[in-house]
Structure 1
């Protein structure tokens, strides 16, 4: 526990990005071990979705928040780090609805993973190679991001009809993934399916994911503008 505490303090103290929770200080006196960060008014993404009774957030906001996560993770990976426990519980919502990544207690520098803890993270978001105790890379975070994106789009808990262990078994042995809604934008469907591909080499890096999400954001804005234009054109003309 002491090693993990020190690890998180050192990690947070060095990370400076608009989508990483800001470190303020730490205390390690007997019986009082704590890390102080900036306050996230909206709680975690998972808490927010539970309050909404697992109803999805508006699509425009979901993509914006997914972009926040992807940009933060692109920064983390750019430093040669792996988060290893990216999930909705570790994504904090601030007053302007932006998201910042938190909980770097199990984050590590990417090295030869034979010497790293094989099973670190949370089953519902965990990449199959981690579940199977195989060597892994930064692409385990990409897999987890695919699950998070699905949560933002659907508002639901991944594998909600299974226990965590059942979900892990299904992911590894049956290649089961969350069901993508039929009306999902093709670009978002593509991101999710590529992110949670069983082959880590197929998963896109976060820099590429950012570009794909920016395209999705543009597509959504264009669709909204067209819908508003059609609405205006169908309104009856009135005399002055």
Structure 2
């Protein structure tokens, strides 16, 4: 029987992957020849089309510049999907389906033949952008440099899929402001835009962000984005599934994973702008738990303008309610609210309407109460993230470093420390009250809304 391994390779600098047996050139990744694989992909160009020349060109660009197996995007024919099912999860401007991709990605390594082969049937998520067949020209003709720019999430691998990023003015100039959605991408300046956009595509390849295999188009001509399926769903559904029972070790590990993704985004001078529990996907393995950043909602209608802020009220920083543009600091506020949600194992402000009254209270300094038994070091960091003054909040880099130290102290270091003692005590308190936690899940108020919506429609600017 042939030995087959699941794809998990990452390029290691200066590693010797051996010589390709076909072209005799040096391989650049495990059992992968850049020269031969790119030639194969290029020969296949005529066998597929999205019926949109800009989408085709960008997908081809990712393939021609691949550095390892599956380091590119694919156009996947819609007939490749079976058992398509609406899973009743809807973002502000998109619908979510599960499906079986019959061929699957090239994830399997056939050691005998030394080639990467298709995985076979694999469950995926299809994210359908509603009304994407009717994208208005007005949508792409925005001239305000501070507006939210949809970064063609359908063709950026392992990116903040389904969402938007906010670019600062210099980034907008560098990209000519032409990072538009779907068929209006590069409308005026394609040649000047594809290289910097591809640079973003390569920069944002990170195991801390979710996997995107490519894109497809359904029978109504709406574009759909083919994304890795995470069996535990998003953070909201995971908390529901666990009935509010999470150990502190898992909480810290998840936060470290999330901080890694956020730090990666911020290092490239990008902003998520829409971080909340619905945009964190969870994978619970036997020996660890992982959480990856995604983005399950757009900040504007595909056939309308995007000159306003959108968000999920509990996760929106107070300065955004005053009409300011999202920043790295507002991302950190959202992270702080995710910290609180994990410590409490419930959604923030779930027992009350998410209305203008709540917004006014948030702007006046209201924050959720710290849960009894929370480690002091955890509470201190969380409150800094939730500070009304953006300059007080830590950076994503600091979060990643500090949380990494926590993981080491809690999980790896055999020596006791004040840090590990705090979490040990918190663990004892939590599990002493296990029955109370299990049967005291707070139901959500019918007007507690956890999907993105336009903030000015709630009367937030005052």
> What TM-score comes out, normalization by structure 2 length?
0.43
- For 1:179, the equivalent position in structure 2 comes to 369
- For 2:264, the equivalent position in structure 1 comes to 75
- For 1:151, the equivalent position in structure 2 comes to 341
Hey, what's the Cα distance between the residues in 2 that align with 1:69 and 1:216?
A: 14
Aligned pairs for 1:42-191 (under 5 A) are 42-53=232-243, 55-96=244-285, 97-103=289-295, 106=298, 117-165=307-355, 166-172=357-363, 174-191=364-381
Hey, what's the Cα distance between the residues in 1 that align with 2:353 and 2:235?
A: 20
- Which protein has the larger Cα radius of gyration, Structure 1 or Structure 2? 2
User: When you count helix as a share of all residues, which structure comes out higher?
Assistant: 1
Deviation at 1:117, TM superposition (A): 4.3
Hey, what's the Cα distance between the residues in 1 that align with 2:312 and 2:371?
A: 24
Hey, what's the Cα distance between the residues in 2 that align with 1:90 and 1:136?
A: 16
Paired residue secondary structure (1:197): coil
Deviation at 1:105, TM superposition (A): 5.6
- Give the unaligned 5+ runs of structure 2: 1-131, 140-148, 160-200, 300-305, 425-462
8 A contact 2:386–2:393 mirrored in 1: yes
Paired residue secondary structure (1:94): strand
8 A contact 1:56–1:152 mirrored in 2: no
8 A contact 1:188–1:216 mirrored in 2: no
Q: Write the deviation string for residues 70-98 of structure 1: whole angstroms up to 9, x where unpaired.
A: 00000011111111111111111124221
Q: Write the deviation string for residues 197-226 of structure 1: whole angstroms up to 9, x where unpaired.
A: 1111111111101122123334434447x9
8 A contact 2:315–2:334 mirrored in 1: yes
- For 1:9, the equivalent position in structure 2 comes to 154
8 A contact 1:40–1:92 mirrored in 2: yes
Hey, what's the Cα distance between the residues in 2 that align with 1:75 and 1:128?
A: 24
- For 2:6, the equivalent position in structure 1 comes to none
- For 1:216, the equivalent position in structure 2 comes to 406
The verdict on how the C-alpha distance between 1:6 and 1:144 changes in structure 2, with shifts beyond 3 A counting, is closer
Deviation at 1:5, TM superposition (A): 7.0
Deviation at 1:64, TM superposition (A): 0.2
Higher RCO (CA-CA < 8 Å; seq separation 6+):
1
Paired residue secondary structure (2:281): strand
The verdict on how the C-alpha distance between 1:189 and 1:6 changes in structure 2, with shifts beyond 3 A counting, is closer
Hey, what's the Cα distance between the residues in 2 that align with 1:51 and 1:24?
A: 27
User: When you count strand as a share of all residues, which structure comes out higher?
Assistant: 2
Paired residue secondary structure (2:310): coil
Aligned-pair RMSD on alpha carbons? 2.5
- For 1:112, the equivalent position in structure 2 comes to none
- For 1:192, the equivalent position in structure 2 comes to 382
